[in-house]
Structure 1
């Protein structure tokens, strides 16, 4: 047992250090911000659109964006002809965030006036409400958004469907209005930017959880939902397939709702507020990360996603591509979803390419032919005319793959073709009369600030079988003054595939995947098995060797087969570049998915001027930082679980009266038994899922290592917060009392009377705080209750601490004088030294006289003689002697207070406009304050029988927090209130039983 205890202590210390290390390295994988700022043409202006709903929502507003005009514009009196777009801001978002989107649209319309296309941008003012923290806002904002859609639809003479662009929680609001059939008919498409769509980042109240669940339930009945199957592999093709097509043939769908195009985007590793895995939805048609979007190719943080110029240009480019002009000059969005989807793929997934075309080539050109397997051809000063080079398709059977890269060639240039060659009898050279373009097989790879790379990976066997007459590939380099050329690498695919496994969490050190690549190698593919959870992180090292030039460029493409739209690109230009190449997955692997058949793919597009050594290792720093980012929301549930176990231990270990043992702040906190609850809940969850007798626990398919790290960190956090609260009790009790005196403006005598009433009649103060909760908000009531409880414990602790110090002083005097321990003089000195101490011992009940007698000898040895004191003053500390117990209750009450902060802030903001918002913690607050008031009124805790029942109930409460409250954090209110209630009920019932038993006897 001692060995296990020591191991548990080491585990707790290691977990705390690991969590702190993860916090310190949270920016390890974050790249620098490469977004360009968006500037306006003229002064941004917002014209308010007034309609009847403004009276119902006095703090909200709808605005139309325009620039430069000095005369105010009224959309209600102006003929609106553009395609309408509504920007929906998110958590604490401003309606002015629409400026970058709308300004780019105005500029684009001005650059192409001949098309006659332009967009009308509207934006909503939600008073910068914290909708991500308080779910009561969501229903209010949703109603206003519906009114806005109806109003904007009425501004146009002919039906004109709108496009909604939502940032953060605004994207969830935009998705939620689809559940209204009347509103959905006015919506053409929805684009969400960095939005937690299917699950909130933190589920802090029941209203937010209900809003998500209701939206999900209604969309499940009316719109196509997709889930990856065991054979799903989105890495098979170059571009993402429409997700709705995967199950559309097997379901009877609502055609009207499925006609709305849903596009979601994520910011990537720079967005530390919304994790990448939360930005997609099973109801989406398309998902893309900004780092993989063509012409963006960078990561955006949560705020820069609404002003990043590269991203704004892509969004507006898509909107212009799906808009069309009517005969009357107005512009509308196309209702052809298939066409809109193809345009979305071209803008958000893969750059649009021209259809396969044929070209005729003059035969008098200077033709060249290469037969080597590896070719690196450059023209330093460019070319004066087109350069034609033929590459034969006839190779040895094992050379099945061909990788070719063109340098400094414009993306719209056709440079790769297939053709049937003929032989010139006069010159003996091969040439082609006509050729077929293969540009649709070319990938445009982002390459940091340099020109994008144009690379094609071709299967020679497929080309020969598909086009039987083809004999060569044709590379046509255009004329120009810049350095140009191409690289060619023909190889056996077996030699370029590296199969590796994710190292175990305990494995350390680098592992070599390939010692040295061949000179001229362009492409390698790594297949990574066992990389299945978001917290896992693999660090890949690509070390250049024997480089022909000092500068090189490597582009890496990561594809997760079960996560559509999460492609990620990374460019390396130096061995010590930061951030390095870290590989991880955005979402956990689905159950029963086969990673052996469909592993995570890492394509390495190397610079052929170097040879490379490729190695990998388990990145502990990045893994720990990802644990912090992905699972910090579990901390409240584990913290409450630890406090409940500590509370159970403290109830089982009452301190002997007068021994001053209760002054030790760590009593009950230095424990490891709560780890049993973690492992027990893992086993119990499987039992519940199999038996289906209880509500289904939260589906958290993660390794138990995560739970242990979070739980051990919570143990350490409980110890630190308990010590901090003890320090505040010792140091700031009088300061808080003086502050309360100044705030209430009571005189010294009046404050003494009030304090006497509070300490002797806690139930009265409890009734007052409950009335505050009913009349104002639960957060204010919890704050007043916490201050009262803190002052009461602080005053009792101050008196008890005086006894402790006087006894220590007496012991020091005894040791200094050297008087015998058992002499009469010693006792007299001790009695004199503690003459002003207060008798703190509780009045024992009939059933615990035996336990009091067992410690009588120790009391006689330690407890000094006490003078007579006032009986009322003596009773104040009865029950408060077990200070550790009350400190734990204070921490639980503080947790309730912190959980109620979002609702309290919402209540404060709503008072300005006279809006009544629901209070999600009202009932739990009433139960908690009533229970605490009753416990203080009864001078609890007392040593009473029946604590084994209370221990079982506290264990059940602790287990429930881990089964049902790690994601739904708001349920902790009910757990804490229930723990307060069962303790109070136990104290009341046992005292009633002891009073009634003698009467019955």
Structure 2
């Protein structure tokens, strides 16, 4: 009887622990995706082609809204064709967010070209669990591609290619088509959303395995972009979205500048932050002269990298001009502050231009400079130059070189934040005559704040030794951050496996004002799997430190790290602990096991 009681007690403890872990697992995922809205009544106009008799269960539609529907019904298309392919149990109506946002952007910005969105009704088939359906859908998609191009035959400016956007298994079919099509240039851009490109979570039949075994490799003529929703996607883990090909661009939605959100398997289709970014990139890859998708794969890839990975806020079309020497309009106030750390605050805006100068020198402790600009709308805001022209009691610059292209959109919960980190020793070597880094504020009524932090690189790069697997260790990394510090890097050489899960605590020990904002970004150098979290006066939750995919063998010399951007008016204590969320660890392993 005693053994039975002990057994029941142990079972109760494990069940209770599992229940707590399950609740923690479910509530661990934040829903920050904003909803997209349609402004006019959506219309789906049937487009017929020769495979309709062979596959009566499928259909091709053209999407339109409101007053634009009449031209679509007359089969009159003058834009850039985009074909949406739904996934397992998906609907052709899931194209609405993508197409409606593209239409609104064209109308709102007065852009002289537009996109014609087409979508496929694949009968809501369960292609993810029954392999033979994949081959039927592939044949119909292939035929639909040519049928769409036929609609433009009589146009003076007819398109030479189609943009494919596939969700889930629809993305797998799209990549398969790009591999097999006789003329790969017919598919200029291929965007997959939460698509298991490397393999499905589990092989359920021979046909699915055959579909994958024949290879999924994008041709050089096609720009392949694969997006994953992150941990919020319970169906398709992020590492299955990555083809690990140099020809493709893979990113998790948490990496996307100005989005920084996770999306579940269906959310990724209508998540406003993600859809807006995809739409901006599509408009930017259009050749303004031809009003069709650019034929340059290099340019297209550069545009998508800019919008999805490393957005500095500049117009990507003018990127090449940022390397040239530029004239600086030196009107306004020129201010040089010799402090290593300081802040500039214009809470009521400014009436004239202000130029702030950071002197470059070779003294110890002046190797790096970080500048955080808050609520700055000026695009070209930072330069390197030689201040040699006298103006009153100081000297100013009349020409210089852009540094804006090296800045980044920093993650934020309030106000736009631009972040620049430069090595001033290297700048002096590259621009031997330069004396200053200068950043400017143009006249505005909006509040603007700058934080400047000058430091030695070694003092802000801290290597953190993590326990690799199970541990109850709780270690303080920094007892008190440097006064007015903005930047820290925590190097994590032991963070290698998907099952590792830690939590980073950033505790404000003192703040001189009520509102404060800090961010922690886990940077994964071998993949675009950045993850951001925030610490504010309202949000004090720890940052989850875990990988979307395990470290590959070729990245053995690289280390993940956490970039911390602090509020200078606060001092912080930074520590980490090993997460006890066993359920999340099991979730991370489930697709490896299967």
TM-score (norm 1): 0.55
Deviation of the 1:361 alpha carbon: 4.7
Deviation of the 1:392 alpha carbon: 1.4
Aligned pair in 2 of structure 1 residues 60, 467: CA closer, same or farther (>3 Å)? same
CA contact (8 A) 2:468 2:500 kept: no
DSSP 3-state at the match of 1:462: helix
1:646-795 map, 5 Å: none
DSSP 3-state at the match of 1:262: strand
Task: State the partner residue of 2:230.
Answer: 268
Deviation of the 1:185 alpha carbon: 4.1
Deviation of the 1:19 alpha carbon: 5.2
In the alignment, is residue 494 of structure 1 matched against residue 458 of structure 2? yes
| Root-mean-square deviation (Å) | 2.8
Task: State the partner residue of 2:24.
Answer: 25
Tell me the alpha carbon deviations over residues 674-703 of structure 1, each in whole angstroms, 9 at most, x when there is no partner: xxxxxxxxxxxxxxxxxxxxxxxxxx6xxx
Aligned pair in 2 of structure 1 residues 381, 141: CA closer, same or farther (>3 Å)? same
In structure 2, C-alpha distance between the alignment counterparts of 1:485 and 1:70, rounded to whole Å: 45
In the alignment, is residue 630 of structure 1 matched against residue 592 of structure 2? no
2:117 to 94, 107, 121: 121
Aligned pair in 2 of structure 1 residues 559, 325: CA closer, same or farther (>3 Å)? closer
In structure 1, C-alpha distance between the alignment counterparts of 2:197 and 2:135, rounded to whole Å: 16
Tell me, which stretches of 5 or more residues in structure 1 are unaligned?
Answer: 1-6, 224-256, 634-699, 701-965, 968-1001
Deviation of the 1:128 alpha carbon: 1.0
Deviation of the 1:11 alpha carbon: 10
CA contact (8 A) 2:228 2:252 kept: yes
CA contact (8 A) 1:369 1:430 kept: no
In the alignment, is residue 409 of structure 1 matched against residue 376 of structure 2? yes
CA contact (8 A) 1:407 1:486 kept: yes
In structure 2, C-alpha distance between the alignment counterparts of 1:342 and 1:364, rounded to whole Å: 35
Deviation of the 1:602 alpha carbon: 0.7
Task: State the partner residue of 2:272.
Answer: 309
1:408-487 map, 5 Å: 408-410=375-377, 412-422=378-388, 424=390, 427-448=392-413, 450-487=414-451
1:356-395 map, 5 Å: 356=323, 358-361=325-328, 365-395=332-362
In structure 1, C-alpha distance between the alignment counterparts of 2:418 and 2:234, rounded to whole Å: 32
In structure 2, C-alpha distance between the alignment counterparts of 1:162 and 1:339, rounded to whole Å: 17
In structure 2, C-alpha distance between the alignment counterparts of 1:543 and 1:125, rounded to whole Å: 52
CA contact (8 A) 1:385 1:478 kept: yes
Task: State the partner residue of 2:296.
Answer: 336
Deviation of the 1:277 alpha carbon: 1.7
CA contact (8 A) 1:544 1:575 kept: no
Tell me the alpha carbon deviations over residues 269-298 of structure 1, each in whole angstroms, 9 at most, x when there is no partner: 322222222222123521222222123222
In structure 1, C-alpha distance between the alignment counterparts of 2:381 and 2:472, rounded to whole Å: 46
Task: State the partner residue of 1:349.
Answer: 309
Aligned pair in 2 of structure 1 residues 485, 589: CA closer, same or farther (>3 Å)? closer
Aligned pair in 2 of structure 1 residues 365, 178: CA closer, same or farther (>3 Å)? closer
1:135-214 map, 5 Å: 135-157=131-153, 158=158, 160-182=160-182, 184-214=184-214
CA contact (8 A) 2:371 2:451 kept: yes
Deviation of the 1:69 alpha carbon: 4.4
CA contact (8 A) 2:478 2:574 kept: yes
Task: State the partner residue of 1:298.
Answer: 261
Task: State the partner residue of 1:690.
Answer: none
1:130 to 119, 122, 126: 126
In the alignment, is residue 282 of structure 1 matched against residue 278 of structure 2? no
Aligned pair in 2 of structure 1 residues 99, 361: CA closer, same or farther (>3 Å)? closer
Deviation of the 1:414 alpha carbon: 2.2
In structure 2, C-alpha distance between the alignment counterparts of 1:310 and 1:625, rounded to whole Å: 29
In structure 2, C-alpha distance between the alignment counterparts of 1:299 and 1:205, rounded to whole Å: 31
TM-score (norm 2): 0.90
Aligned pair in 2 of structure 1 residues 392, 144: CA closer, same or farther (>3 Å)? same
Aligned pair in 2 of structure 1 residues 582, 74: CA closer, same or farther (>3 Å)? closer
Tell me the alpha carbon deviations over residues 571-620 of structure 1, each in whole angstroms, 9 at most, x when there is no partner: 22147534x300111111223752xx422111001111100000001011
1:556-575 map, 5 Å: 556-562=520-526, 564-574=527-537
Tell me, which stretches of 5 or more residues in structure 2 are unaligned?
Answer: 1-5
CA contact (8 A) 2:332 2:352 kept: no
Task: State the partner residue of 1:602.
Answer: 562
Task: State the partner residue of 1:617.
Answer: 577
- Which structure has the larger Rg over C-alpha atoms? 1
1:585 to 547, 571, 574: 547
Task: State the partner residue of 2:92.
Answer: 95
CA contact (8 A) 1:149 1:183 kept: no
In structure 1, C-alpha distance between the alignment counterparts of 2:514 and 2:241, rounded to whole Å: 40
In structure 2, C-alpha distance between the alignment counterparts of 1:493 and 1:83, rounded to whole Å: 48
DSSP 3-state at the match of 1:479: coil
Deviation of the 1:311 alpha carbon: 2.0
CA contact (8 A) 1:540 1:614 kept: yes
DSSP 3-state at the match of 1:545: strand
Tell me the alpha carbon deviations over residues 426-479 of structure 1, each in whole angstroms, 9 at most, x when there is no partner: 95423223232211121111202x112111111111011111111122222222
Tell me the alpha carbon deviations over residues 492-549 of structure 1, each in whole angstroms, 9 at most, x when there is no partner: 2221111112224332141000100122100000011221111211100000011011
Aligned pair in 2 of structure 1 residues 359, 504: CA closer, same or farther (>3 Å)? closer
CA contact (8 A) 2:502 2:546 kept: yes
DSSP 3-state at the match of 1:258: coil
DSSP 3-state at the match of 1:215: coil
Aligned pair in 2 of structure 1 residues 183, 98: CA closer, same or farther (>3 Å)? farther
Task: State the partner residue of 1:47.
Answer: 45
In structure 1, C-alpha distance between the alignment counterparts of 2:130 and 2:441, rounded to whole Å: 59
DSSP 3-state at the match of 1:54: coil
Number of positions where the alignment pairs a residue of Structure 1 with one of Structure 2: 579
Deviation of the 1:10 alpha carbon: 11
In structure 2, C-alpha distance between the alignment counterparts of 1:495 and 1:381, rounded to whole Å: 35
Deviation of the 1:87 alpha carbon: 0.3
CA contact (8 A) 2:514 2:537 kept: no
In structure 2, C-alpha distance between the alignment counterparts of 1:363 and 1:346, rounded to whole Å: 30
Tell me the alpha carbon deviations over residues 631-676 of structure 1, each in whole angstroms, 9 at most, x when there is no partner: 345xxxxxxxxxxxxxxxxxxxxxxxxxxxxxxxxxxxxxxxxxxx
Tell me the alpha carbon deviations over residues 397-443 of structure 1, each in whole angstroms, 9 at most, x when there is no partner: 34311111223211x4322222212374x954232232322111211
CA contact (8 A) 1:267 1:300 kept: yes
